[in-house]
Amino acid sequence: MHLVTAQEMREIDQKTVEEYGISGLVLMENAGLAVFRTVQEILGPLTDKTVLIICGRGNNGGDGFVAARHLVNHGGRVRLMLAADPEALTGDARVNYDIWRRMGQKVYSVADRNSLQVLHLALMQADLVIDALYGTGFRGEVKDRLKRLVEAVNESDRVVVSVDMPSGVDADTGAVRGAAIMADHTVTFGLPKLGLLLEPGTDYAGTVHVADISIPPGATANVRRSLITSELVREWLHPRLPGAHKGHFGHVLVIGGSRGMVGAACLAARAALYGGAGLVTLAVPRSLQDVAAATVPEAMTAGLAETVDGSISPLARDHILDLQNKASVIAFGPGLSVHAETVEMVRLVLPAIRVPCVLDADALNALAIIASSSASRSHLDEGGGDESAGPLKAYMPTEVADGGHERGPPFILTPHPGEMSRLSGISVNELLSDRVGVAEGAAERWGCTVALKGRSTVVAGLGETYINPTGNPGMATAGAGDVLTGLVASLLAQGLTPVRAAAVAAYVHGLAGDLAAEDTGLMGLTAGAIVQTVPTAFKDVERR
């Protein structure tokens, strides 16, 4: 399912009108009818039911006028409040306002001195509230009288249905900069808006209903962002043929672990196996090899040269590069530590990687440390990379391809917001206000795939972006990210493209967390429970 920004939706609407000849009035009628049908599903028979509708001046308000008309025509009582001067209404919204008035129906003005008293009385009498105040064009902050109106609706115990977007929520980022309607249901038109899937907007949207308003498929052909669904995952996963053997499903090399954190690397290795990789090698500090072998007996192990503190030493470089010759994919970072010598190992190994690589956890932290060091600055000054592209580009392994162009193996980064902040130099608050934009910008600058973790993980590649709907707050637990790393590497080793490997992994990872939480609850959910449920999650995807 495609996801759109407000501007993209405006362009789709315009194309629908201009190229396909479907008028704006038809689109508005279909939108208002969709809202009416949702309300009817919620309330059942409308006789003796009262609905309060709060309309703004734009097309969102026009949709509210259409819904009001259908509610009255089906026996409902409607109290309609207008948050604009009627003379300011134009276009299709004005047409539907005039129809409402010709029906002899009353309109209460939010601008009236006693409007808040009228609102409170209407809320007391209402069975349901329709929020048609602001739509996808809203930016900024709801203020003054309208802020008090929004707060009054939220404080009531009435069911609220928002039209297209909950008023006060940014359609592109999900940002809420003040008061916003806390909806129980949101009826969005044509395609869901990004802000309905991103925090905090998703918390305000309630149940999202995507309504068909007659937009032709051709009008949405160039949309680059999509919601990850089970149908999409099934489409991308490769079927296993009867004659297949383990060599067909790739070999994942997991590099990580340190004294006190070997469990992270073990979780990643186990996830790679449960994700379907044919072979997994778990490379850890030499003193931890026996522990790793006992913890993940299905994996092969390698003991790497280590520091006195039990982390991987720079002396392990040649061993790692030898191991990569047998690997399809490297998962680099779980439990690695940021010991100074280990950071130096990362600096030495990264440019020499010649197979696809998933960078996570302390590999990302090491990369940020390297980039901020004087050695990194010197490297950039000498032409080792483009400073504006951030730290990854400076240390990206390259090879000369046909035609003389330099390219390297595909990289996938799986940072959480803190790691992304350190890599990009963007503050966490700024990053969280535009997670899609930050992920897409990083993927473009660094020439890689970025899976920016969190609720509704954002997976951005070159020219395509996916938003993940699965997962729950219980997954905010140590080791959950290591499970995701192993899954991404496993799917990449099995032949999925980098962006699809990351998208499928994010969906299955979140689904495994959801299924595990059904047994453990949110508070007791652990990474171990998540990884154990990965096979069940894949099976669930097959059934859906």
- 306 DSSP 8-state letter: B
Q: Say yes or no: 211 and 242 in one domain.
A: no
Q: Which long-range contacts (CB under 8 A, 24 or more apart) does 205-211 make?
A: 205/162, 205/165, 205/166, 205/169, 206/160, 206/162, 206/166, 206/182, 209/34, 209/38, 209/185, 210/1, 211/30, 211/31, 211/34, 211/35, 211/38, 211/187
Cβ-contact 31, 63 below 8 angstroms: yes
78 & 173 share domain: yes
- Strand 207-211: give its sheet, edge to edge: 108-109, 77-82, 50-55, 128-132, 159-163, 185-189, 207-211
Nearest to 320 by CA among 357, 344, 352, 293: 352
DSSP of 383-407, one letter per residue? TSS-GGG-HHHHH---EE-GGG-EE
What integer pLDDT is reported at residue 371 of this predicted model?
83
Helix (H, G, I), strand (E, B) or coil at 411: strand
Considering the domain architecture, whether residues 149 and 255 belong to the same structural domain is answered as no
Domain count for the chain = 2
Residues 522 and 498 in one domain: yes
Instruction: Indicate whether 189 and 265 sit together in one domain.
Output: no
Q: Are 424 and 442 in contact (CB under 8 A)?
A: yes
Same domain, 166 and 247: no
**What is the pLDDT, as a whole number, of residue 390?**
45
> What pLDDT does residue 393 have?
59
CA distances from 535 to 5, 239, 315, 511 (A): 35, 15, 37, 11
Render 503-521 in DSSP notation, one character per residue: HHHHHHHHHHHHHHHHHH-
Q: What backbone phi and psi angles, to 5 degrees, belong to 361? A: 50, -125
> Which CATH number is 144's domain given?
3.40.50.10260
CATH number, domain with residue 348: 3.40.1190.20
Domain end residue (candidates: 223, 252, 279): 223
Return the pLDDT at 394. Answer: 55
Residue 123 near residue 149, CB atoms below 8 Å: no
**199: DSSP letter:** T
Residues in the chain, overall count: 544
The answer to whether the CB of 271 falls within 8 A of the CB of 534 is: yes
213 DSSP assignment:
-
Q: What is the pLDDT of residue 392?
A: 57
Tens digits of residue pLDDT in 91-141: 999 999 999 999 999 999 887 777 788 889 999 999 999 999 998 989 889
> Could you tell me the mean pLDDT of each successive run of 10 residues in the chain, 544 residues long?
93 95 97 98 95 95 98 96 91 97 93 82 95 92 91 95 97 93 97 94 96 94 92 92 90 98 98 97 98 97 98 98 97 97 96 94 93 54 42 50 57 95 92 93 92 95 94 96 98 96 98 97 97 97 86
Both 424 and 315 in a single domain?
yes
- Which of 223, 250, 285 is a domain's end point? 223
**Residues 215, 249 within the same domain:** no
Residues 340, 299, single domain; the answer is yes
* pLDDT given for residue 52 in this prediction: 97
- Quick one: pLDDT at residue 398? 45
Q: Given this model, what pLDDT does residue 241 score?
A: 86
Measured CA to CA, the distance from residue 55 to residue 58 in angstroms comes to 8
Give the pLDDT of residue 407: 58
Q: Which domain holds residue 533?
A: 230-543
**Quick one: tokens of 354?**
């010649």
Q: Are residues 216 and 337 located together in one domain of the fold?
A: no
The angle formed by the CA atoms of residues 57, 168 and 55, to the nearest 5 degrees, is 30
In a shared domain, residues 292 and 196: no
For residue 238, the model assigns a pLDDT of: 83
Cis peptide before 285 (omega within 30 of 0): no
According to the model, what pLDDT value does residue 383 have? 38
181 and 245 in a single domain? The answer is no
Domain end (from 198, 223, 248): 223
pLDDT of residue 1: 85
Please give the pLDDT value at position 84.
Answer: 87
* Residue given tokens 């997976």 in the structure block: 459
